[in-house]
Amino acid sequence: MNLGDGENAYDALTAAGSDASHWAFGTGFSPALSGVDRSVPSDVDRDDLFAYCLMLGDDALILSQRLMGWCSRAPELEEDVALANIALDLLGQARLLLARAGDVEGAGRTEDDLAYLRHEHEFRNVRLVELDCGPGPGGDFAATIARLLVFSTWRLALLSRLVHSRDPVLSAIAAKGTKELAYHRDHAAQWTLRLGDGTAYSRERMRAGLARVWPLTEELCTPHAIESRLASIGVAVDPASLRSEVDDVLGTVLTEAGLDRPDVPMLATVGGAAGRHGVHTEAMGYLLAEMQHLARSMPGATW
Amino acid sequence: MSTRSSWPLYEVFVRAKRGLNHVHVGSLHAPDAELALRNARDLYTRRNEGVSIWVVPAEAITASSPDEKDPFFSPSGDKVYRHPTFYEIPEDVPHL
């Protein structure tokens, strides 16, 4: 938008050292995590903390990638922007967590290296986030909302406890994330209410969407050995401790929406291993192929 | 979606951090007022623009018509004496 001589909004916003006080809108940004102590508590195993940062970072990264798929494909323009905003919030969390993982590992890997150059079995996200709910073939907005409701309810419960982590960086990331997750949960709940309590058709779609994501919920509250170890020294959150809050919140939303809790069998582990161990569903390979293709075919590309 | 065209239009007003009034910033479609508020948050405050939002159904706004522009507004154009310019405004009274 060019407003005439010397009135270019973007020039003025980016001008170094300019006094922003004349801007009524869009100022006062502050960098995430400025001033946070980046040291690792001395009694914390660095391999464990590295893996834990990957777990939380990969959850956010992979769901962000899934939600981004809806950009320009959502039922309404307004919902396009809403889902993209949520995806960008999650991408921001993923960047901070993967950057922290790289720091803790100490091998010089950046957030980009970890996002784009790891293999499928090195990703530690829960399998819920990799499920393909569209917008491509078989795409389903109701299932996307159902997953967002479950995920954001669970992650909000997790981050609101992680605020008390002894790792100062995890604590700061959690404090930033809780405000974002509260909005994501609200957005998903608003849509769940409208679809569940809408027409017979919308209720059926929402019911089917919930039934599709529900088998992947058991994994959310099942602790991996690394999570248990770090939780015992006050660094991580034991996911088993989240179960009652997640059940309560989901129960409240579903009741209000006139929907039953799905009665479906849970997705089995593979010999006790699941997403947190790097064991994923078929959808994960396709997702990574799309997400990593550019970075792998043109190493170091910038634009 | 066959119902797409049936979502009503809402006008959005945002109050900026340093602003005093809610200012009209645009419009959007939403199925109801609650979601209009959330859509407005996503569309109009994602670059840190505001601290308060109003949404108003567009049909609830009664607007002056361009045809009435002259009778409505021209008569005030030459009456500078309606400005209370003879008051001295104290330094410490902003926004008067």
Task: For an interface test with B, give the residue of A78, A152, A183, A190 to mutate (most B CBs within 10 A).
Answer: A78
- State how many domains chain B has: 1
Does residue B54 form part of some domain? Answer: yes
Does residue B39 form part of some domain? Answer: yes
Does residue B84 form part of some domain? Answer: no
Q: Look up the ipTM and state it.
A: 0.70
Average pLDDT, consecutive stretches of 10 residues, N- to C-terminus, chain B (96 residues) = 70 84 92 93 86 95 87 80 77 75
How many Cβ atoms sit within 10 Å of the Cβ of residue A150? Answer: 23
Q: Alpha helices, DSSP H only, in A106-140? A: 111-116
Q: What is the pLDDT of residues A247-298, one digit of tens each?
A: 999 999 999 999 999 999 999 999 999 999 999 999 999 999 999 999 999 9
What homologous superfamily is domain A43-296 in, according to CATH? Answer: Ferritin, core subunit, four-helix bundle (1.20.1260.10)
Closest approach of A35 to chain B, Cα-based (Å): 21
Q: What is the mean pLDDT of residues A65-85?
A: 92
pTM, 2 dp: 0.85
Closest approach of A77 to chain B, Cα-based (Å): 9
What residue of A is the nearest CA neighbor of B50? A25
DSSP track, A232-273: HTTSS--GGGGHHHHHHHHHHHHHHTT-PPP--PPPPPBTTB
- Here the CATH number for the domain that contains residue B11 is 3.10.20.520
Q: What is the pLDDT of residues A154-191, one digit of tens each?
A: 999 999 999 999 999 999 999 999 999 999 999 999 99
Give me the percent of chain A exceeding a pLDDT of 70.
90
Q: What is the pLDDT of residue A67?
A: 97
**A78·B39 Cβ contact <8 A:** yes
Q: What is the pLDDT of residue B5?
A: 59
Domain spans of chain A?
Answer: 43-296
User: For chain A, which residues lie within 8 Å of any Cβ of chain B, measuring from their own Cβ?
Assistant: 21, 24-29, 75-79, 81-82, 85, 183, 186-187, 190, 194
CB A130 within 8 A of CB A280: yes
What residues make up the domain containing B16? Answer: 4-63
Q: Which of A7-21, A185-199, A225-239 has the lowest mean pLDDT?
A: A7-21
**A194·B35 Cβ contact <8 A:** yes
**B42·A81 Cβ contact <8 A:** yes
Q: Does the pLDDT at position A69 exceed 70?
A: yes
Does residue B77 form part of some domain? Answer: no
Q: What is the mean pLDDT of residues A236-253?
A: 97
Nearest to A189, CA basis, from A151, A152, A156, A149? A149
Judging contacts by C-beta atoms under 8 Å, the chain A residues touching residue B28 are: 78
**B48·A75 Cβ contact <8 A:** no
Judging contacts by C-beta atoms under 8 Å, the chain B residues touching residue A183 are: 41
Closest approach of B92 to chain A, Cα-based (Å): 19
Does residue B86 form part of some domain? Answer: no
CB-based burial label for B56 (10 Å; 0-12, 13-18, 19+): middle
